[in-house]
Amino acid sequence: MDLEMNLNAPHSMGTTIIGVTYNGGVVLGADSRTSTGMYVANRASDKITQLTDNVYVCRSGSAADSQIVSDYVRYFLHQHTIQLGQSATSKVAANLIRLLSYNNKNMLETGLIVGGWDKYEGGKIYAIPLGGTLIEQPFAIGGSGSSYLYGFFDQAWKEGMTKDEAEQLVVKAVSLAIARDGASGGVVRTVIINSEGVTRNFYPGDKLQLWHEELEPQNSLLDLLNSSNSEPMNI
């Protein structure tokens, strides 16, 4: 067993990121774990980053690469908004991300999901995986944890959900991915974007539903032993 944790390994976001459209806007979701090799460098990161008032991006892959790409795009969008005289659309944001991802494909290692609301097209989700392909979808999943969610979404996704249904789906999905992906963990963050604005939500790890073989967290064994239906300690 390798006991030397490689603390100088590039900060990578083994991650779970999700973007979902509903009838009125989009819901973005992500876990909060950033790892350096086997060490969790940040257990409460915020992977859902603002690009404009109405467009956000979920970041996965290399933390550095995803941060620099979103910083550049935020900068470009700011200028674009000034020139345009009104809010940028989610399509423009997604295409700017695509340009950087595609033209630097040899150097970057980041998969992004752009989600936003604008008055022309309503809520939209765009996935930009490795390589710089741009693909508009009703929902998108990404990051290492997404491997465990393809089957889940095939079964659970439906068109025309309400805001609450969409958010519940996202929280459930991130939580399921965290349960199985070692590179995902921590809290579930969601961002809801619609015509009314932006809402950020926070679901701490201990408040999520328990899955298979997970147990109710306790303060101590002593509480278990002292409770009325205690199990005697077995030899």
Partner 1 sequence: MNFTASKQPENCLLGPESDSQRTLYPYVTGTSVVALKYKDGILMAADMGGSYGSTLRYKSVERMKPIGKHSLLGASGEISDFQEILKYLDELILYDNMWDDGNSLGPKEVHNYLTRVMYNRRNKFNPLWNSLVLGGVKKGEKYLGTVSMIGVNFEDNHVATGFGNHLARPILRQEWHENLSFEDGVKLLEKCMRVLLYRDRSAINKLQIAKITEEGMTISPPYSLKTYWEFSAFENPTQGAVGSW
| Angle, alpha carbons 57-160-140 (nearest 5°) | 30
Structural tokens at position 95: 């295409």
**Interaction pattern, residues 7-26, with partner 1; x per rule: CB under 8 A:** -----x-x------------
DSSP assignment of 141-196, as one string? EESGGGGGTHHHHHHH--SS--HHHHHHHHHHHHHHHHHH-TT--S-EEEEEEETT
Which burial class, exposed, middle or buried, applies to 164 when counting CB atoms under 10 A from its CB (0-12, 13-18, 19+)? exposed
150 binds partner 1 (CB under 8 A): yes
Q: Which is nearer to partner 1, 163 or 180 (CB)?
A: 180
Position 180 contacts partner 1 (CB under 8 A) = no
Nearer to partner 1, 2 or 231 (CB): 2
Among 61, 115, 123, 185, binds partner 1 (CB under 8 A): 61
Tell whether residue 133 is a contact of partner 1 (CB under 8 A). yes
Binding span for partner 1 by CB under 8 A among 18-26, 107-115, 189-197, 210-218: 107-115
Q: Is 36 annotated in the active site?
A: no
Among 109, 122, 163, 205, binds partner 1 (CB under 8 A): 109
Q: Is 53 in the site for partner 1 (CB under 8 A)?
A: no
For position 40 contacting partner 1 by CB under 8 A, the verdict is: no
Smallest distance from partner 1 to CB 133, Å? 4
Q: SS3 of 224, please? A: helix
Task: Indicate which single residue of 44, 64, 68, 134 sits in contact with partner 1 (rule: CB under 8 A).
Answer: 134
In angstroms, the CA 106 to CA 104 distance is 6
The DSSP code sequence of 52-100 is SSSEEEEEEEEHHHHHHHHHHHHHHHHHHHHHHSSPPPHHHHHHHHHHH
Verify binding: residue 6, partner 1, rule CB under 8 A. Answer: no
C-alpha gyration radius of the chain: 20
Strands 139-142 and 110-118, by their bridges, are unpaired
Binding site for partner 1 (CB under 8 A): 12, 14, 60-61, 98, 102, 105-107, 109, 111, 127, 129-135, 137, 143-144, 147, 150, 181-183
Residues forming the active site: 15
